[in-house]
Chain A
Amino acid sequence: MSSLYERLGGEKAVNAAVELFYRRVLADGRIARFFEDVDMEDQIAKQKSFLTMAFGGPNKYTGKDMRNAHRRLVEKGLNDSHVDAVIDNLNTTLRQLGVPETEVKEVAALANSVRDDVLGR
C-alpha cells in the first residue's frame, strides 16, 4: 500500500492545493487576522510546508518547531476554534480538488495531530 503522500500525488498535489488553500484561509473572517502583516511569499512557503506535512510528506518538524512557530499567534489569542477553521478550509480545498473522502479524513487527522503543539499545550 503506497503512502498517503504518494496516493495524493506528492509534491504536484501540494502545488495544486496550496494557492487554493491559502486564498480560502485569507478570505476566512474567523482566522484572517492571524495572517495580516505577514509577507505573502514567506507565508505561502509555510502553507506549502504545512500541506506537505498534512499530506504525510517529508518533513522533520518537531513539537518544539511547531510551538516556536505559533507562539506569537497563541499570544494573539489563537485557540481550538481557529485550528478547526484551518482544518475546515483544508477539507474544502481537498474536496474541491476531487480528493476522495477517505484521504480527506486522513489529511485532517494528520493536521489535527499537531494541534496541541501549535496551541502550545
Chain B
Amino acid sequence: MSLLTYMDRPVPIAPGETVLEALLRAGIEAKSSCRAGTCQTCMHRAVSGTPPEASQRGLTEAQKAMGFFLPCVCKPETPLAIAPRDDAGARREAVVRSLERLSHDIIRLRIEADDFDYRPGQFLELIADDDLKRHYSLASHPEDDPYLEMHIRLHENGRMSRRLTERLAPGHRLHVAGPSGTCFYEGVDPDQPLVLIGAGTGLAPLYGVLRDALKRGHRGPIRLYHGARDPRGLYLRDELEALAGSRENLTYRPCALDADAHLRGDVAAVALESETGLEHSAFFLCGGENLVKRLKRDLFMRGASLRAIRADAFTPGA
C-alpha cells in the first residue's frame, strides 16, 4: 500500500515531504495559506490510518476524533488515506424501517444501514435519488438502536417531503453517505455544565448528544432548551419532561413563540438570559442558520470559548 492515498489514488510522497507538498506536486488542488499548521486552511480528513500527532495540533477533540489533520505539517510515517474535509465518503444502501409523525409537520424516519459507524449528533446525507439528497442529523445511538433515526420537517411542496410522505414506505431502499460533522459529545469535561440549545428539528442532534452524554456518565448539569414557533412543534416534549424528571442533573426548557405565558419565549433569548458563567460551559447549538449564528456570536461575546461551542446550522434544501 502506498504511504499516501488521496480519494483512492496513490500519491507519491518523498521522505521528509509534507502531505500538502505531495498533493500539490501531484497536481491535486489543495488550498493552503500559512503552511505552518495554524491557519487550518488546508485541513483534510484521514479516512484510514492515523495522522501524526503534530498534524492535529490546535484542532478540537471532535475534529481529532474524526481524523481531521493539517497536511501542511503532516509527514506520514505509516499509510494514510485522505479525503477533502467535506467529503461525505462512499454511499451505501439503507432500508426504510419506519416513518411516523412526531408532530403536525415533523416525521421520524428510521432506516437500517449495515456498518454505519457514527456518533450521535453527527449528520448523514440521505439520498433518495441522484438529484434528491438532503442532510439530516442523527438522533439515534449506535450502541442502543439498531437503526438510524432522523427527525424531518415537512415542507409544503418540498421534493424530499413529498417523497417521504407519498412514496416511501417500510422496506423501501435508498442510500446514505457519511457521517459528517463534529457536533457530538467529545472533548467535554464530564463535570462541566452542558448546554444544549436548538430549534425545530435541531432537537434531533441534541437528543442524540443528550443520550450519549447520559450514557457516558456526564455528571455536570445538563440544560436542554428547545424552541419552536408554536407548541405543536415541541415534539418529544412528554418524553423529555419524563427524562428530566428522572435525572437530577437534567433540565428541559421548552419555548414557543406563539404560546401561553408558561412556554412563551424565543429560545435563544431564554437561553442567553438563563445561562451564566459561560466560560465554564460546553455548548451545542442546532437549528436554522440565523439562530445558530446569532447564538454562537452572542455566547462567544459574553465569554464562552469558541472551542467549547459546537454548532450545526441547517441550510434549506433546494
Contacts and interface: CB of A to CB of B under 8 A. Distances in A.
B161 interface: no
Contact of A44 (B37, B41, B301, B306): B306
Interface in A58-106: 58-61, 65, 69
A44 B297 CA distance: 12
B58 interface: yes
A42 B36 CA distance: 16
- Of B33, B34, B301, most A-chain CB atoms within 10 Å: B34
Interface residues of B, number: 17
B297 A60 contact: no
A48 B297 contact: no
Given A27-B301, A44-B306, A49-B39, A61 B34 contact: yes
A24 B39 CA distance: 20
Nearest to A18: B306
Contact of A49 (B38, B57, B296, B305): B38
Nearest to B73: A58
A45 B40 contact: yes
B35 interface: yes
A52 B33 contact: no
Interface in A10-57: 11, 14, 19, 22-23, 26-27, 40-42, 44-46, 48-49, 52-53, 57
Contact of A65 (B33, B57, B297): B33
Closest 9 CB pairs of A and B: A49-B39, A45-B40, A49-B38, A60-B35, A58-B36, A59-B36, A49-B34, A59-B34, A52-B38
Given A45-B39, A46-B39, A52-B38, 20 more contacts: A11-B58, A19-B300, A22-B300, A23-B300, A23-B301, A27-B301, A40-B300, A40-B306, A45-B38, A45-B41, A48-B38, A48-B58, A49-B33, A49-B34, A49-B39, A58-B38, A59-B36, A59-B38, A60-B34, A60-B35
Interface of A: 11, 14, 19, 22-23, 26-27, 40-42, 44-46, 48-49, 52-53, 57-61, 65, 69
